[in-house]
């Protein structure tokens, strides 16, 4: 096969058999978000590079080396647009842009939005790490109370529970990383400690030491991990207000019996986070390097974009990772019901009637189909079974002539012949009435 017709590295194809997982996740997210009065939002796959530079931060891998730049084909004479565009690596920045651009500040606050979209990061592909991957996520913009943090965590917990992942499988890692007031003190205490080990840190962390020491806590390098183990705890440097808000969040989780693990080293990969930060991970994942989802407060982000000071909180989960967890735990996901009624034809005359019948049944709201290329009763019954049909309608040569039809109930294998004009009545009876 030619190279150019191969799938690009770090991407995947989602084949029909896999779709039930995607649908189950979409349904769970939709059900819980709509019940909580969230509105769905869809933003463009590409945005101006500045949007992410500002939000995610210059010291993150995403901005430094993982963004896909969008290049445009065209002749050199054509005027090129000045703006550099990149494929969206995450969802929050785009949603915040819309909030400001559409003047959502004047909507009733908080504004609650959710999305299900692909994201793009040019990282090194490995298990659970793609270059194109899907996230579902949500943002609550315009409310600073700890109750919103609790509601966010509750919503996440319910979605995961709906998918069959519960306290036996997953846990919330949680931390507070402070606000504008206490962050300088947190950074100072970390720098004072880390400067002593400067030469022993990995090159990336050496650079971060000046720019953003908090992010060093997030480093996965073994030699940095050993140093981080002795670093001061962020919680000891939180201001009174951050401390009390965080306490309320933890009490709220206790009250709802949502399990969490206080993780004083959790800082998350994106710079915009403040105060409560959290990740969902498998209980067995002690390395904490393969989270299922993560999020937190970003109370300063809107201001960074030139908007008014507006508190906000958000969360995003990786759909591919959730699916592999569902499979690993052997959680049963319902098959997608494709066909209710399968029409089987035997002979040329029956074939014509069958196609018209499928069309009519479809118009009456029944999911119906047939297998035109197949001629034997056995192979068509096999198709009916594979499609998960409840009823098979069989039209043989005799039925085609005397305008009758055999209804075979595939759930109990009973069958009976009816006059064609009784068909609707019988189908309604068998499929719609209890
Ligand atoms: P982040 O936007 O980095 O906070 O990530 C949120 C979630 O998205 C993670 O917990 C993962 O489940 C998922 N995720 C992030 N990066 C990738 C990737 N490269 N491939 C697959 N899933 C990812």
Quick check: CB of 133 below 6 Å from ligand 1? yes
Distance 369 CA to ligand 1 centre (A): 39
- pLDDT value at residue 430: 93
Which atom in ligand 1 lies closest to the alpha carbon of residue 295? 4
Residue 356 phi/psi, 5-degree rounding, is: -65, -40
**Ligand 1 atom nearest to CA at 317:** 7
Ligand 1 contacts CB of residue 88 (under 6 A): no
CB 59 within 8 A of CB 209: no
Q: Which two tokens stand for residue 236?
A: 């000891």
Please state the atom number of ligand 1 nearest to the C-alpha of residue 292. 12
If one compares 285 and 314, the residue with the highest pLDDT of the two is 314
What is the arithmetic mean of pLDDT over 172-185?
Answer: 94
- Average pLDDT, stretch 131-145? 98
Supply the pLDDT for residue 19: 95
Please give the Cα distance from 69 to 58 (Å, whole number): 16
pLDDT at 74: 64
Q: What is the number of the ligand 1 atom nearest to the C-alpha of 91?
A: 2
- The contacts of residue 400 (CB under 8 Å, 6+ apart) are 347, 349, 350, 353
Give the pLDDT score at 338: 79
Which residues are 377's β-sheet partners? none
The CA distance from 354 to 373, in Å, is: 12
Q: What is the pLDDT of residues 348-368, one digit of tens each?
A: 899 999 999 999 999 999 999
pLDDT in tens, 68-80: 999 877 665 555 6
Rg (CA), the chain: 28
Count CB atoms within 10 A of the CB of residue 323.
20
60 pocket-lining for ligand 1 (C-beta < 6 Å): no
Report whether residue 90 contacts ligand 1, using a CB cutoff of 6 Å: yes
Quote the pLDDT of residue 110. Answer: 97
Write the DSSP string, 357-368. Answer: HHHHHHHTT--E
| Ligand 1 near 430 CB (within 6 A) | no
> Could you give all domains of the chain from N- to C-terminal order, each with its CATH number?
16-182+238-328 (3.30.930.10), 341-433 (3.40.50.800)
417 pLDDT above the threshold of 70: yes
The helix/strand/coil state of 97 is: helix
85-94 pLDDT, tens digit each: 999 999 999 9
Which residues of 49-99 form beta strands (DSSP E)? 69-70, 85-87
The per-residue pLDDT for range 32-62, each reduced to its tens digit, is 999 999 999 999 999 999 999 877 776 677 7
Rounded to the nearest whole angstrom, what is the distance from the C-alpha of residue 318 to the centroid of ligand 1?
A: 5
* Averaged pLDDT, 208-219: 87
Residues 154-174 have pLDDT tens digits of 999 999 999 999 999 999 999
pLDDT > 70: what percent of the chain?
97
Residues 6+ apart with CB under 8 A from 119: 88, 89, 90, 91, 132, 133, 134, 135
pLDDT, the chain, mean: 92
- Distance (Å) from CA 328 to ligand 1 centroid: 18
Over residues 249-287, the pLDDT tens digits come to 999 999 999 999 999 889 887 778 899 999 999 999 877
Nearest to 318 by CA among 263, 266, 281: 281
State yes or no: pLDDT of 424 exceeds 80.
yes
């Amino acid at each position: 096969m030619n190279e150019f017709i191969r799938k690009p590295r770090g991407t995947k194809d989602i084949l029909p058999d896999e779709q039930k997982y995607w649908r189950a996740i979409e349904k769970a997210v939709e059900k819980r978000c709509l019940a909580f009065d969230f509105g769905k939002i869809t933003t463009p796959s590409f945005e101006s590079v500045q949007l992410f530079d500002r939000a995610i931060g210059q010291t993150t891998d995403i901005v430094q080396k993982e963004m896909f730049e969008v290049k445009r084909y065209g002749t050199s004479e054509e005027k090129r647009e000045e703006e550099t565009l990149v494929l969206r690596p995450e969802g929050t920045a785009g949603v915040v842009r819309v909030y400001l651009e559409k003047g959502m500040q004047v909507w009733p606050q908080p504004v609650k939005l959710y999305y299900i979209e692909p994201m793009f990061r040019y990282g090194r592909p490995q298990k659970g790490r793609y270059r194109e991957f899907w996230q579902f996520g949500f943002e609550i913009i315009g409310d600073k109370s700890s109750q919103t943090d609790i509601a966010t965590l509750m919503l996440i917990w319910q979605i995961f529970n709906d998918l069959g992942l519960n306290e036996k499988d997953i846990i919330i890692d949680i931390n507070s990383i402070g606000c504008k007031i206490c962050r300088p003190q947190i950074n100072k205490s970390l720098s004072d400690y880390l400067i002593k080990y400067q030469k022993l840190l990995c090159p990336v962390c050496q650079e971060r030491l000046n720019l953003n020491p908090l992010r060093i806590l997030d480093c996965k390098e073994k030699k940095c991990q050993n140093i981080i183990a002795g670093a001061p705890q962020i919680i000891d440097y939180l201001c009174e207000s951050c401390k009390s808000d965080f306490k309320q969040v933890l009490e709220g989780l206790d009250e709802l019996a949502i399990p969490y693990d206080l993780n004083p080293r959790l800082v998350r990969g994106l710079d915009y986070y403040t105060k409560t930060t959290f990740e969902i991970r498998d209980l067995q994942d002690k390395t904490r390097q393969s989270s299922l989802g993560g999020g937190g407060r970003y109370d300063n982000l809107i201001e960074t974009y030139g908007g008014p000071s507006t508190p906000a909180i958000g969360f995003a989960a990786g759909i591919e990772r959730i699916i592999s967890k569902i499979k690993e735990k052997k959680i049963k996901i319902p098959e997608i019901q494709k066909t209710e009624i399968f029409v089987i034809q035997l002979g040329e005359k029956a074939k014509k009637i069958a196609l018209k019948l499928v069309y009519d049944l479809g118009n009456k709201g029944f999911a119906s189909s047939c297998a035109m290329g197949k001629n034997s009763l056995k192979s068509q019954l096999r198709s009916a079974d594979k499609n998960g049909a409840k009823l098979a309608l069989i039209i043989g040569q005799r039925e085609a002539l005397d305008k009758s039809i055999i209804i075979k109930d595939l759930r109990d294998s009973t069958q009976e012949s009816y006059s064609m004009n009784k068909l609707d009545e019988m189908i309604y009876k068998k499929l719609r009435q209890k």
